[in-house]
């Protein structure tokens, strides 16, 4: 028999053992001294015993689905980022799906996105910013980007506009925000929705007319990802946030099976009208818990994931500062080879929370991007390309290439340049000065070889 007097005491002892386990086995992995030549990943989790204890706490609840930790995270995250409503989902890609699908709801009247309507976006980025529109039957309109900001070229927005345009849905690139002032004004002028894919820029600040906010809160809807390489992690996980109460309700509906009911998970008759309504062509009094107002999904997060997120959120401000420090240190180190590579520049009026450090090989340098990255990888520094490079060149477009399923504005010259000349390395908060300096040394060797 155990020596526990009650469940609370048992829980605390179990969590204390988990903390000891972390200190004996996991902490040593994270604190291992760097030796030049050791593998440097572009990203990694940064955590301590607190996350493992919170995960254990949630596991002992054995609630498994969305619960108290999810509620806690949503409230604390919304308060931190400055949004009225925040809703956890199971990934950043699901966050983008829900953000887009909420805008297809008939409740939005003339602003509802219907099949055949257009959404302005870019081809240089991650596919799941665009995928929901294509799968739904909307038409993405691809605009070029600028270098060295690697974000949408706002000078092309008016050319992309048509009578069918309903929204702009674009991502902030590796922490660097797009020109939010220009894009927000464009959307206001033409009564368009703005969805900020904030998955790679959580913690970035942007100032418009003297007002500073976090990226993701200037648009109608913002999205985030908590995948392990991202700014903070739950393992898998994402979030959709808004200040619009109507979009808030729609986001919840599409996330939770498309239901009309707003009862929290595990609660019945929250609205006190479970059996007295009439919906669609259903009989009067049909159980409101099983009334579906939209074709939705089940994309909720588990409470175990949310428990990890609650602890990560406490550390998050320090993560942001370290990312900025690492990015600045790396850029200063690489200034001496700026005649051969294009170094990234932050957007005006911004304070980025960097996800990575973008490098483009100059066309007149005589260098080959693939040879450069091959050298860097051979010296145990992990590299990544800027995701799809040019999404419309990928096999997923084979069956729709050249059709009216999408439109392209201009020639996407910078997008193609990035596809062939650009790569990036990490600046995640677990990187030490020694790792940053070693990366810089290897990159300089790669471009000087």
| Domain containing residue 363: CATH number | 3.90.1150.10
Strands annotated E in 159-295: 165-171, 193-197, 205-208, 211-214, 221-225, 238-242
Among residues 256, 271, 305, which one ends one of the domains? Answer: 305
Please tell me whether residues 272 and 402 are part of one structural domain. Answer: no
Spell out the residues 6+ positions from residue 374 whose beta carbon is closer than 8 angstroms to its own.
Answer: none
Q: How many domains does the chain have?
A: 2
Q: Is the peptide bond between 122 and the residue preceding it cis, with omega within 30 degrees of 0? A: no
| Marked catalytic residue, from 230, 231, 288, 379 | 230
Asked if residue 364 lies in contact with residue 434, where contact means CB atoms within 8 angstroms, the answer is no
Is 265 found in the same domain as 340? no
- Write down which residue in 242, 277, 305 finishes a domain: 305
Query: Is the domain of 331 the same as that of 247?
Result: no
Is residue 329 a part of any domain in this protein? yes
In a domain, 13, yes or no: no
43 assigned to some structural domain: no
CATH number at residue 141: 3.40.640.10
> What does the alpha-carbon distance between residue 255 and residue 300 come to, in Å, rounded to a whole number?
7
230 is catalytic: yes
Whether 398 is in a domain gets the answer yes
* Residue 39 lies inside a defined structural domain of this protein: no
113 shares its domain with 151: yes
Q: Among 257, 278, 305, which residue terminates a domain?
A: 305
Q: Both 368 and 341 in a single domain?
A: yes
Same domain assignment for residues 115 and 242: yes
Same-domain pairing of 286 and 336:
no
Inter-residue contact 300 to 74 (CB < 8 Å):
no
179 and 82 inside one domain: yes
pLDDT in tens, the chain (449 residues): 577 889 999 999 999 999 999 999 999 877 889 999 999 999 999 999 999 999 999 999 999 999 999 999 999 999 999 999 999 999 999 999 999 999 999 999 999 999 999 999 999 999 999 999 999 999 999 999 999 999 999 999 999 999 999 999 999 999 999 999 999 999 999 999 999 999 999 999 999 999 999 999 999 999 999 999 999 999 999 999 999 999 999 999 999 999 998 887 778 888 888 999 999 999 999 999 999 999 999 999 999 999 999 999 999 999 999 999 999 999 999 999 999 999 999 999 999 999 999 999 999 999 999 999 999 999 999 999 999 999 999 999 999 999 999 999 999 999 999 999 999 999 999 999 999 999 999 999 999 98
282, 425: one domain: no
Q: Is 365 domain-assigned?
A: yes
Same-domain check for residues 264 and 354: no
Give a yes or no: residue 40 inside a domain. no
Spell out the alpha helix ranges (H) of 111-225. 131-136, 157-160, 180-190
Q: Are residues 147 and 181 in the same domain?
A: yes
The answer on 364 and 215 residing in a single domain is no
Structural domain boundaries enclosing 136:
60-305
Assigned domain for 264 exists: yes
H or E element at residue 15: helix 7-21
């Amino acid at each position: 028999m155990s020596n526990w007097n009650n469940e609370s005491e048992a829980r605390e002892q179990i969590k204390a053992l988990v903390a000891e386990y972390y200190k004996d086995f996991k902490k040593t992995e994270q604190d291992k001294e760097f030796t030049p030549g050791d593998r440097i990943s572009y990203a990694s989790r940064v955590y301590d015993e607190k996350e493992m204890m919170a995960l254990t706490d949630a596991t002992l609840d054995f609630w498994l689905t969305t619960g108290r930790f999810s509620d806690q995270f949503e409230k604390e995250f919304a308060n931190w980022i400055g949004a009225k409503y925040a809703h956890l989902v199971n990934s950043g890609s699901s966050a983008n799906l829900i953000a887009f699908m909420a805008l297809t709801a008939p409740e939005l009247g003339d602003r509802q996105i219907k099949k055949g309507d257009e959404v302005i976006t870019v081809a240089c980025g991650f596919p799941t910013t665009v995928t929901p529109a294509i799968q739904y039957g909307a038409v993405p309109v691809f605009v070029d980007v600028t270098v060295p900001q690697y974000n949408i070229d706002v000078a092309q927005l008016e050319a992309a506009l048509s009578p069918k345009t309903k929204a702009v849905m674009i991502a902030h690139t590796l922490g660097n925000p797009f020109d939010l002032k220009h894009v927000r004004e464009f959307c206001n002028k033409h009564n368009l929705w703005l969805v900020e894919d904030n998955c790679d820029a959580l913690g970035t600040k942007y100032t418009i007319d003297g007002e500073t906010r976090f990226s993701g809160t200037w648009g109608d809807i913002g999205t985030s990802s908590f995948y392990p390489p991202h700014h903070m992690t739950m393992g898998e996980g994402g979030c959709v946030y808004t200040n619009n109460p109507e979009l808030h309700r729609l986001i919840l509906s599409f996330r939770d099976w498309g239901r009309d009911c707003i009862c929290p998970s595990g609660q019945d008759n929250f609205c006190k009208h479970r059996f007295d309504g009439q919906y669609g062509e259903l009989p009067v009094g049909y159980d409101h818990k099983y009334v579906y107002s939209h074709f939705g999904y089940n994309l909720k997060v588990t409470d175990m994931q949310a428990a990890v997120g609650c602890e990560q959120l406490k550390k998050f401000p320090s993560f942001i500062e370290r990312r900025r420090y690492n990015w600045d240190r790396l850029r200063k180190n690489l200034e001496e080879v700026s005649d051969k590579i294009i170094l990234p520049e932050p957007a005006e009026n911004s304070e980025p929370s960097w996800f990575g450090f973008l490098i483009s090989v100059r066309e007149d340098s005589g260098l080959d991007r693939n040879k450069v990255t091959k050298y860097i990888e051979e010296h145990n520094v992990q590299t990544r390309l800027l995701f799809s490079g040019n999404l419309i060149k990928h096999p997923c477009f084979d069956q729709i290439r050249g059709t009216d399923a999408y439109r392209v504005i201009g020639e996407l010259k910078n997008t193609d340049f990035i596809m062939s000349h650009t790569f990036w390395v990490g600046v995640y908060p677990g990187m030490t000065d020694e790792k940053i300096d070693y990366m810089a040394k290897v990159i300089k060797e790669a471009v000087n070889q």
